[in-house]
Every structure is written in C-alpha cells, then in structure tokens.
C-alpha cells in the first residue's frame, strides 16, 4: 500500500478541524501537516505544533526556492505548506492537509497524486447555526464567511471526493474508507 497525501477543504464552519482531529486520533499513521506562517504566535501556541512561525524574509526565501506545495497571504501574513516537511512525513505514513480550496487546487498542480476531499455542509442554515454557536466572531465576520462559502462550493467539481458532514462520525468513516481505497490503488 502506498502512502497518500490527502487535502481536506471546505467552507468555514463545516467541521474540517474536528474531522481532521478525529482522523488523526483514530489513525496512527496519518499525520496532520503543519503550515508555516509569518504571523505572530498567539498565547498557548508552540512553534512546530500549531504552525512553524518564521519571518517574512525566510518565507519569501522559501517561495523563491520552491519550498511550498502551496502558499497564500491573508491580512498581511503569509501561510504555506512546507514541501520538505510533507515529503518527510509521507515516508512514514499518510499526510493530511487542512487547507482552503485555492490551496488545495494548488497542491494538486504541484503534487498530482494528492487526493482532494471537499467537506460540505448539509445546508447553509446549518453552517450559519454552527458559526453563531462558536461565539467567536461578529455577525459581519459570519456573513463574510457565508458569502465566501458560495465560491468554495463552486469548486467542488474540481475535487476528487465530496463528503457531506451531516453526522460527524459518518463523515469521518466515509473519509477513512476513501483513504483505504486510495491507498490500495
């Protein structure tokens, strides 16, 4: 069986983080990739755990040296998936990337054998409810996330698989089945 690179994408509030956490807890040979970022470390975060925190100069140098599978800029900070880290982890098992749709499509260009999985909500109303219940964002931020959802969902045909997160454990089991199928190809 081959080791596989799995990209998990989907709109905000669809449960990607929860799914990724369960997948890595339930599958000891599945590693969650760690991204590089230029943003400041927040309280409770550790370098090499949540992110690899690097300077903007080092990030730009990595871009110049083709050191990322994908990267982007948000709110004056850079975020990227380090190519060498992913390749090293793939030698020991499967690797899961939890990244946005644009990043997922970029990974597929740079790593054609990557498996793209789009997690979608059962409904827009359910995502709105989930975002509100998190109680971490303003109404305006929630509306911005919901407006971005339309764009992200428009890209699902470019993904290899679509999984509806209506029931968390069912969605996780479905993704585990997809991974097993892809590993045996």
Helix pair angle (139-153, 124-134), 10° resolution: 140
Low-confidence ranges of the chain (pLDDT < 50): none
Place of tokens 């690797």: 95
pLDDT, tens only, 97-141? 999 999 999 999 989 999 999 999 988 888 788 778 878 778 888
Please check whether residue 119 is in contact with residue 15, taking contact to mean a CB–CB distance below 8 angstroms.
yes
Place of tokens 């789009």: 118
Distances (CA, A) of 55 to 24, 62, 129, 141: 29, 11, 37, 28
Q: pLDDT at position 127, please?
A: 79
Strand partners, 118: 9, 162
């Amino acid at each position: 069986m081959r080791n596989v690179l799995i990209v998990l994408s989907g709109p905000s509030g669809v449960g990607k983080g929860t799914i990724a956490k369960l997948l890595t807890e339930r599958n000891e040979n599945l590693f969650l990739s760690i991204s590089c970022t230029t943003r400041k470390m927040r309280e409770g975060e550790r370098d090499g755990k949540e992110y690899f925190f690097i300077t903007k100069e080092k990030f730009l140098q990595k871009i110049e040296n083709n050191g990322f599978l994908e990267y982007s800029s948000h709110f004056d900070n850079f975020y990227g998936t380090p190519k060498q880290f992913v390749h090293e982890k793939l030698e020991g098992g499967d690797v899961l990337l939890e990244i946005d749709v644009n990043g997922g499509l970029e990974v597929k260009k740079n790593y054609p054998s990557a498996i793209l999985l789009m997690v979608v909500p059962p409904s827009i109303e359910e995502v709105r409810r989930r975002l509100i219940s998190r109680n971490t964002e303003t109404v305006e931020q929630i509306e911005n996330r919901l407006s971005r959802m339309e764009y992200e969902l428009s890209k699902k045909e470019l993904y290899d698989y679509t999984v509806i997160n209506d029931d968390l454990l069912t969605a996780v089991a479905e993704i585990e089945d997809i991974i097993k199928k892809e590993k045996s190809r």
